[in-house]
Amino acid sequence: MNTYLDCIPCALRQALDAARLITDDERIHEQIVREILKITADLDLNRPPPWIGQIIHRRLRALSGVADPYRSLKSQFNRLAMAVLPELKACIEQGPEPLIAAAKYAIAGNVIDFGVKSSLDEHEVARSLRDSGSTATYGDWAEFKRHMERAKEILYLADNAGEIALDRLLIEELGPERVTLVVRGSAVINDATLEDVLEVGLSGLVRTMDNGSDAPGTILEDCSPAFREKFHTAEVIIAKGQGNFETLNDVKTNIFFLMKVKCPVIARHVGLPIGAQAVIHSNG
């Protein structure tokens, strides 16, 4: 997906919010805003929006000298999501469609995103996760189920920390032996990395790899050759979150995007309301 003009003021606001979250140093706040203004003035709009996110957060890490500024927030929301897991697991097992129910909880976990919002309330997140079983979702769930049932192997592109604890619910329903879980190559915003896979105890359950990139999405040309090989030979891919949608929706392969619609640009692009939880099947 291209970057829309609307994405630029939004990215700037996000850069400023992130800078304030990471450091109290107002010189850094000003410097990051000025740098992003300069970069976006000549931005190639054919790049996907996470390309700006990657630049912003690389510069913020460099300017602040902190390699993983969201580390403690990631651990906090990993713990939070793990605490509600047993309750959600019980709901899934009691219902008639455990695979679809698990997918919906996995989408609900996508509320834990420090890219779009710079602050999240723990109680609000926990309530949102519990309520999500009864939240309307969009998309062709029967088709999702059909593809998942017949797939021999499933490539599962995770999105955020916290959220990744809830991906366990869907991975267990899919059968962990069929799944390869992919996380970001290194820290960017609160996106999940291998450290989060360890924290939420998924490393013993499912094959895991990282994609070699620090973009808050999956910019294929920025990923490792090993990941790209895996991606291009995958039978079916599950991709979580807006960042993965924005970077992969034009790629011609069999992808099911599981995501919450979080901004007006995406809402218009996919024709769904903001806040919608959706499965979107794409062949590019």
Tell me which residues touch a second copy (CB under 8 A).
5-6, 8-10, 12-13, 16, 29-30, 33-34, 37-38, 40-42, 45
Q: Which is nearer to a second copy, 30 or 93 (CB)?
A: 30
The least distance separating a second copy from the CB of residue 18, rounded to whole angstroms, comes to 13
With CA atoms as reference, report the closest residue to 26 among 61, 64, 74, 59. 64
C-alpha–C-alpha distance, residues 187 and 179, integer Å: 23
Q: Which is nearer to a second copy, 43 or 194 (CB)?
A: 43
Number of residues assigned to the chain? 284
Q: Which is nearer to a second copy, 45 or 62 (CB)?
A: 45
The least distance separating a second copy from the CB of residue 59, rounded to whole angstroms, comes to 14
Contacts of 86 (CB under 8 A, 6+ apart): none
The least distance separating a second copy from the CB of residue 171, rounded to whole angstroms, comes to 38
In this structure, what token pair is assigned to residue 242? 């807006």
Q: Which is nearer to a second copy, 200 or 265 (CB)?
A: 265
* Pairs from 19-28 (Cβ < 8 Å, separation ≥ 24): 19/60, 20/118, 21/69, 21/114, 21/118, 21/119, 22/60, 22/64, 22/66, 22/69, 23/63, 23/64, 23/66, 25/64, 28/60, 28/63, 28/64
The least distance separating a second copy from the CB of residue 117, rounded to whole angstroms, comes to 15
Q: Helix (H, G, I), strand (E, B), or coil: what is residue 201?
A: coil
Q: Specify the amino acid at residue 131.
A: D
The least distance separating a second copy from the CB of residue 276, rounded to whole angstroms, comes to 23
Q: Which is nearer to a second copy, 41 or 136 (CB)?
A: 41
Q: Which is nearer to a second copy, 51 or 105 (CB)?
A: 51
Q: Which is nearer to a second copy, 15 or 129 (CB)?
A: 15
Q: Specify the amino acid at residue 112.
A: I
Query: Which helix H or strand E contains 154, and what residues bound it?
Result: strand 154-157
Integer-rounded Cα Rg, in Å, for the chain is 18
The least distance separating a second copy from the CB of residue 265, rounded to whole angstroms, comes to 12
C-alpha–C-alpha distance, residues 284 and 71, integer Å: 34
The least distance separating a second copy from the CB of residue 188, rounded to whole angstroms, comes to 20
